[in-house]
Chain A
Amino acid sequence: MSHGGGRWLVTVLALLPLLVPVQSLQAQTPFTAIGFGYPVLPIDGRAASMGQTSVALLGGSYSLTNPAAVTEFRGLHLNASFTGEAVDVKYPNISEGINRGWLPVLRGVIPFGRQNVLALGIGSNLDQDWGVVFRDTLDSTLGTFPFDERRENDGGLTSLDITFARRIGSLSVGAGLQRLTGNLRQTVFRTFEADTAGTGTTPRPVRDFAQVSYGSWRFLGGVTAKLKERVMLGAQIAVNTDLKATRDTTFGQTATFNRPLELGVGGSARISSRFLIAASGGWTNWSTANQSFSTVRAVDTYYLGGGVEYTGVRFISLAIPFRVGYRWTELPFVIQKKKQSTESAITFGLGTRIASGAAAFDFGFEWGRRGDLPTTGAEESFFRTTLSISLRQ
């Protein structure tokens, strides 16, 4: 199969399903119900498998983090990533397994000229999906009515990204503009059963909902420096405007929330022809949003991650890089009178290139835990899978 034919084969296979709109998929954990929700980083599969080290990763990362890092890509690149997570939730009185998924990043990298790169992308930002079903009974003089109640929050924030980067010798600089947008639909459904006394009376159900739309801007800046193609260092900064939330009421009730400053540094190095190590760390100024909340508090967060990539394995003439890493991060929203939650995970994964490198698949796996029920009020253990598919010229 020719190089071009292989590319079109992938196209045909991908076209078989119908298009669906991009949306944050269902996620139901208590962390998504706290504060602004759960921060969902726009990380691709390769970075995810190496401790989420995306700031300065040799070989490139499609993650929407350091805008300067897109200069690692030569030629047209297209990437789509999907993440699924199985979670065991521990909350007061319950311990239950649920599933969730989201699309962390969709990105196209378009070089123009020898030194300039333009990138367009969509990335995840915050996940506010949450749902609970419970059963209770209403006792009244009109009867005793068992009922099922379903409360859901569906929504979150997504970033629409445009990035420009330029190589200047061994340096690369990049700037990105992101529009943070999204909405949140909150629903309460309460369905009653007939009176247990057998009168046949059944109260009418409750159907209540509200919708909020979000809007904000994010400005990114980044720089990378490469040393003889073996070492890469980088730094990034992101500045956010206030998040404006508008209710769908007649008068368009609006609230404004402060958004944080974000800083990140990282680096990677080829310590041999087959071994690559990488690390990233950063800080996010979430405490600036603290005055926006009444039932939780927002605190600054730090994160740290690192990983190793080994490319010495081949399978049926295909190079299979193996990756392993570890990451640790603090979560920004804290239940009142509880401690701040942290999240840590062991990461691993692999990848492959097919069609003479025209297509690439990267799998990232994370096995971790977040929170501690007695001290933070919520606890989850999770297993996360990220699949990235890339096409390249």
Chain B
Amino acid sequence: MRLLSRIVPWLATCAGVLLVGAACSGESLLTEADASNAPLLGNKTVEVILRSSDMVRWRDTTYQGYAIPEDVPFQLVVNESDLEARALARFPTIPGTFELDTLSFTVDSFKNASFRLVIDTIRSTVDSMSYTVEAYALDQSFDGPTATWTQASLGVPWITPGGTLGQLLGSADVTVGDTLQPADTVFIPIRGINVDSLLTAWRSNGGEEGVAFLVSAANELRLANISIRMRATLVEKDTTVTFFRSPSPSTFIYNPAQPGVGLPLRVAGLPANRYYFDFVLPDTFDGILLRGSTINLAELYFEPLPSPPSPFPLENAIAGRAFTLLADPFRFGPGTPIGLSIAELVFVPDSLAAGVPVTFPVTLFIQEWANSLPGLEPTLRFGVKAQPDGITIQFWEFGSAESRRNQQPQLRMLVTPPSRFVLP
């Protein structure tokens, strides 16, 4: 007890002095203006640029067909020197009855009908104050998914390329307002043919062979919607009713066709293109340790190639998306499931034409690789596409692994190798 009474005051005093000391300790650091004179060792953050040929492995490819003209929510009707396009439609659901609440009335006869075209005025261009839109009956049936400028269906060519046109069903002269914007809705009345006979025949034969829509020269129309408006009398009632029906199928064909996919990486277009790639990084590059380092920033760069041939260079900016791939695209092909969205992209024609690369960040993915042990690396697989697919027939191409070195895809990184902590 006596010893305890001697020890405790000392311990308490020591504790008090310790706390006073701790409280009085300052943590003021030297502020060094010049990093080169700052002592201690911290590895610098350096920029590392790896091209696809610098990787242990880089594979890339373009897959096509993610959207076709039949799938997209627009049709093109174009008559330009470098591009022609015609919208094709078939109306198989011509009504025979009129339903009103629980009552059903039989259609007696069709009095008149018009094709209604809703024009996307923002994406359409006309060359003059007036233009003419025409509707022709087709003399040859077509298949929605496979019709092109040269073939009506798979393996069956058009008798006349661009759709075998028959009788002119109607036309509309459109006068543009002061703003030179096309009218947003155009009606093409069916004339010169017995409307009732035509629609009755469509009702019985499923709308065959269909209708083609054309525009006069030097105009480019992007249609947001095609439908047919019909006015008919009823058997049971002395009244006239109006019907609207949408076509099925509805597509468009155009000439020239999209060039075949080659070695470059292509995005957008119709059929829609996506490019997929995967790569394996080296542990060290140019004397800089990558594995085990801090990846401060990592971005993939894709160098745009010169403009595609007319009429395919992008004319308007389109959105795009970069994403991860959940499986090996070189094993699963176009159907490779896609994973997380990494970044929203914008493909701006002027920038692409000027050679400004398309980039998106992959910092966390590369850091995950850098943190991994050899043999347990995460697979780096990504893809790029337009968002949505098939928004335009236009596209752009980028350098691939087979391109010249200065056009190859690049991974640019800011890397900080582990600091060299030297024992004093």
Contact = CB atoms under 8 A, between A and B. Distances in A.
A108 B11 CA distance: 10
* Size category, A interface: 35 or more
Contact of B31 (A21, A102, A133, A152): A133
B31 A94 contact: yes
B1 interface: no
B16 A132 contact: no
Contacts of A8: 9
Contacts of A16: 16
A389 interface: yes
A203 B363 CA distance: 9
Nearest to A207: B294
Interface in B260-294: 294
Contact of B24 (A84, A106, A186, A245): A84
B179 interface: no
B30 A14 contact: no
A20 B18 contact: yes
Interface string A98-141: 11111100101000000000000000000010111111101011
A270 interface: no
Contacts of A134: 31-35, 38
B259 interface: no
Contacts of A389: 13, 16-17
A128 B18 CA distance: 19
B296 A203 contact: yes
B17 A7 contact: no
Nearest to B6: A76
Interface in B42-64: 42-43, 45, 47, 49
Interface stretch (A85-93, A233-241, A308-316): A85-93
Given A14-B13, A96-B31, A103-B18, A208 B42 contact: yes
B31 A80 contact: no
B26 interface: yes
B29 interface: yes
A142 interface: yes
A290 interface: no
Interface string B357-396: 0000101000100000000000000000000000000000
A35 B424 contact: yes
A207 B299 CA distance: 21
Contacts of A35: 424
A108 B7 CA distance: 9
B40 interface: yes
Contact of B9 (A10, A18, A81): A10
B14 interface: yes
Given A16-B16, A98-B30, A389-B17, A190 B45 contact: yes
Interface in B374-424: 412, 414, 416, 418-419, 421-424
A205 B416 CA distance: 10
Contact of B29 (A12, A25, A98): A98
A190 B414 CA distance: 13
B37 interface: yes
Contacts of B38: 132, 134, 149, 151
A210 interface: yes
B30 A91 contact: yes
Contacts of A97: 28
B4 to A, nearest CB: 12
A340 to B, nearest CB: 17
Contacts of B43: 188, 208
A112 to B, nearest CB: 11
Interface residues of B, number: 56
Interface in A343-360: none
B17 A132 contact: no
B35 A149 contact: yes
A94 B9 contact: no
A97 B30 CA distance: 8
Contacts of B35: 134, 136, 149
B18 A22 contact: yes
A134 to B, nearest CB: 4
Nearest to A15: B12
Nearest to A23: B22
B39 A33 contact: yes
Interface in A8-67: 8, 10-22, 25-26, 28, 30, 33-37
A4 B18 CA distance: 23
B155 interface: no
A138 B45 contact: yes
A150 interface: yes
Nearest to B27: A26
A56 to B, nearest CB: 25
Contacts of A318: none
Contact of A101 (B25, B29, B422): B25
A132 B33 CA distance: 10
B26 A101 contact: yes
A201 interface: yes
A212 B424 CA distance: 10
A140 to B, nearest CB: 4
A82 interface: yes
B122 interface: no
A13 to B, nearest CB: 7
A142 B414 contact: yes
B32 A133 contact: yes
A80 B18 contact: yes
A329 to B, nearest CB: 20
A204 interface: yes
A340 B383 CA distance: 62
29 contacts: A11-B13, A14-B13, A18-B15, A25-B21, A26-B25, A26-B27, A30-B39, A35-B424, A78-B10, A80-B10, A80-B14, A80-B18, A98-B26, A100-B25, A100-B26, A103-B21, A133-B32, A134-B33, A134-B34, A152-B29, A184-B424, A188-B40, A190-B416, A203-B414, A204-B295, A208-B294, A293-B424, A389-B17, A391-B10
Interface of A: 4, 7-8, 10-22, 25-26, 28, 30, 33-37, 76, 78, 80-82, 84, 89, 91-94, 96-103, 106, 108, 128, 130-136, 138, 140-142, 145, 147, 149-153, 184, 186, 188, 190, 192, 201, 203-210, 212, 245, 247, 255, 257, 293, 295, 387, 389, 391, 393
Would you list the 6 A-B pairs with minimal beta carbon distance, nearest first? A78-B10, A14-B16, A99-B26, A17-B19, A203-B296, A25-B25
Given A89-B30, A135-B33, A210-B421, 13 more contacts: A17-B19, A17-B20, A17-B23, A78-B9, A93-B33, A94-B30, A130-B40, A147-B45, A149-B38, A186-B421, A188-B43, A190-B42, A391-B13
